[in-house]
A and B are shown apart, each in its own frame.
Chain A
């Protein structure tokens, strides 16, 4: 049920379509009008807002995610890192709610509810209504403008503290406004920017649209210092460096003011401002360039490029040690205190993805130019923790005193970089993977190879412990030459009988043996052969040796019972190929439970090679770091 009135400021007709509306901006004179117990009155100030990133507008009708909405009004707040818009909307089921538009991200929020709530701090983690939340940002917001119809009285300049949290799985939002006690809590969910489909976007316009959705137009501001016209593409820009006089300008809704000068001597960035970067069908442009240095080593630097697209939003392109990564905002949270984890540790973010820690540290801003959505200053510090995983995926946690943000993304190959920028000079210098990621991979190799080695050692030890010697018997050379039957020993059905014959006097000679397994009835159930040969010498001054003076075979006991070994041996020297005599005494060693373990020893050598190669990689990369 609507109510027709006249604007107390200009007399123009205004319509209040919902009795819950307490603030309305006159469409004719842009004066703000309040309703209270005494009736309608002018607030005494005008409010004109620039377009938001989504370019939603009052009375826009359409679909946002799974909800059909009509936009009623908007409140814009400024906070230390920029501004955000709260769009007040009516759903087609006659309920009301908010759509938050902050730095190219959208969230659908339910109407707020006053609840007892603690004062949240950045990084806090708490449970609320069955969900675990992670506080991403706290700060003080100032109302800087209103538009359309709103359910409360808003005063320009009004300040209140706020905290923004995300569910650890990155799907839901929780905004807490500490404007009075108890605070108002808004619960919602993140939706992609592409989830907005307005009637007026349809071909030929929609019947319900009162105007077309505005096209994105970069605005131009004039440098207050040198009067140069400056193009500002991103409507969220707060800082712009003048291309002509290097002044640092802080932008507001209506003006630009000089807040300093750009640091002298632009670093040798690989990409210029305005560089096109084509990614997933969108032509982004480099809007800002930042050079960061490690807090403990100012020569260890990396470059961050802010990429802006008027529809797709913004991305960060990072270059460090010739490796390039592309990241975008994410809200799935890591476990607490990831900075304290060792490099190579594995974590799982709230959305179930697994990541391996690559690096952490503190960065100090050394240089910035272009246009940024916050006022950055040389000397600003941020802590970071970097992870990799899932093919070429990357995940990062970046934090300062007031905000912790998460980024997800991927490593960019030199070929992708060439395709995105069209520049071969940059891609030719690019590497596919960061040095500290290589170090992390090398450390991972050490760990995996070591773990596999431990399994091999355990298997070898297990086999050795499982073995038991059941017979050790010496035979003379002549006994062996004429066949000899050993003393009896016991073995269970299926047990492995290791029959070893050691002839320690073998010296550049061989011994060939016939081995028979004899049961208690003195019947030979299996016949096989074994060989021992040992050669050594000196070749070109190098000593060499090969072979072994011990021959071994493994037999499986066909039955439980008493067994004996029937043994016959002949031996020969050096190159002789046949013999009917034996020159060497030998010891028969029978063990039960043994298994041929050469494969285990071979595997163990592979594991040792992995540990050595990985360890060498870690050491080498650490030396390169130094």
Chain B
């Protein structure tokens, strides 16, 4: 019984540690570049309108609302 409890404790913390380290290392919320060629910030005529133009074309972006 005690051996089983020790096994459970060991397995839990081992899996927790491995899982957390693996998740941190792999970090799924690190974003890779989605436009390898890039879009000129001059798109739309000047630097102040890039996100507006991009939003119009892609439907993305938060500017203008949550």
Contacts and interface: CB of A to CB of B under 8 A. Distances in A.
Nearest to B15: A452
Interface residues of B, number: 48
Interface string A417-460: 00000000000000011000110110011001101100110010
15 contacts: A392-B3, A482-B48, A496-B30, A514-B61, A525-B34, A525-B37, A527-B60, A554-B29, A566-B50, A568-B51, A577-B66, A599-B20, A603-B17, A603-B20, A610-B9
Contacts of A201: none
B62 to A, nearest CB: 4
A241 B9 CA distance: 47
Given A512-B66, A531-B62, A600 B24 contact: yes
B30 A555 contact: yes
Interface of A, helix, strand, loop or mixed by DSSP: mixed
Contact of B1 (A392, A512, A556, A602): A392
A546 to B, nearest CB: 16
A226 B16 CA distance: 69
Given A463-B24, A596-B30, A524 B54 contact: yes
Interface string B22-62: 01110101111111111111100001111100110010111
Nearest to B38: A523
Contacts of B17: 452, 455-456, 603
B20 A483 contact: no
A213 interface: no
Given A451-B13, A519-B38, A524-B39, A555 B27 contact: no
A482 B31 CA distance: 25
A507 B51 CA distance: 26
B29 A596 contact: yes
A224 B4 CA distance: 52
A519 to B, nearest CB: 6
A572 interface: yes
A361 to B, nearest CB: 18
B2 A558 contact: no
Nearest to A526: B33
A554 B4 contact: no
Which one of B25, B31, B50 has the greatest number of beta carbons of chain A within 10 Å? Answer: B31
A529 B47 contact: no
Nearest to B58: A527
Contacts of B20: 456, 459, 599-600, 602-603
A531 B64 CA distance: 13
A570 B38 CA distance: 24
B1 to A, nearest CB: 5
A455 B20 CA distance: 10
